[in-house]
Amino acid sequence: MKKILPWITLLFLIGLNLGGGKALSQNAALAPMLLELFREPIDQDKLDKLIFAAEQGDGLAQGTLAPMYYMGSRAPQDYKAAMKWAKLAGAQGLAAPCQIIATMYHFGQGVPKNNIYAYMWLTIAENYRAIITEANGRVHSDFNHPISMRLEKEMTLDQISTAKQLANECISKNYKDC
């Protein structure tokens, strides 16, 4: 399963952007290198190239580094780095990194446990899914993420309302200080 999960994550990240997300259009040539990363053990040179692309603003590279650091797959597990890359990729329209952030807040991984922030980031991810689905001419249906469903049982209506308000503020501020 550990070998399959990175593939699924990467294909999910790429797939989310085929419908008009900003990140894929930045450097479509990077996709073959990213797929290669998950075929063979990664060496430091390949990781450095991926980090360089991410530092140059490549959303797909950022969105690939986030789960790598989060899961400790092909890179050392580092929640701080996972959060950094996930926020940068999320700001470019990738939903999956927003789910990583939500998971980290929900379980208190590298950040204090905070269900309001967890729900906020899941709301942002859902917003991206709606935009991409509608851009592809499909009808959007609500996505029920397991953590979202769990949070809705644990949180009050006021907390959920606060999380949604914070998500809207975060989007309107272009993710600065979120």
CATH of the domain at 64: 1.25.40.10
What's the mean per-residue pLDDT of the chain?
78
> According to the model, what pLDDT value does residue 149 have?
83
Q: Which residue has the higher pLDDT, 121 or 138?
A: 121
Mean pLDDT of the region 69-74: 88
Q: Write out the two tokens for 10.
A: 């990467």
Dmax of the chain from CA atoms? 48
- Judged against a pLDDT cut of 70, whether residue 144 lies above it is answered with no
> According to the model, what pLDDT value does residue 70 have?
93
> According to the model, what pLDDT value does residue 126 have?
86
Q: Which residue has the higher pLDDT, 45 or 26?
A: 45
Global pTM value = 0.74
Measure Cα distances from 44 to 55, 75, 149, 156 in Å. Answer: 16, 9, 39, 46
Does residue 8 sit within a domain? yes
* Identity of the residue numbered 71: M
Does residue 76 sit within a domain? yes
Does residue 160 sit within a domain? yes
How many domains in the chain?
1
Does residue 177 sit within a domain? no
Measure Cα distances from 50 to 37, 53, 129 in Å. Answer: 9, 5, 25
Q: Where are the alpha helices (DSSP H) in the chain?
A: 4-17, 22-26, 30-37, 44-55, 59-71, 79-90, 95-107, 115-135, 146-154, 157-172
Task: Give the domain range for residue 107.
Answer: 4-172
- Judged against a pLDDT cut of 90, whether residue 93 lies above it is answered with no
Does residue 178 sit within a domain? no
- Judged against a pLDDT cut of 80, whether residue 63 lies above it is answered with yes
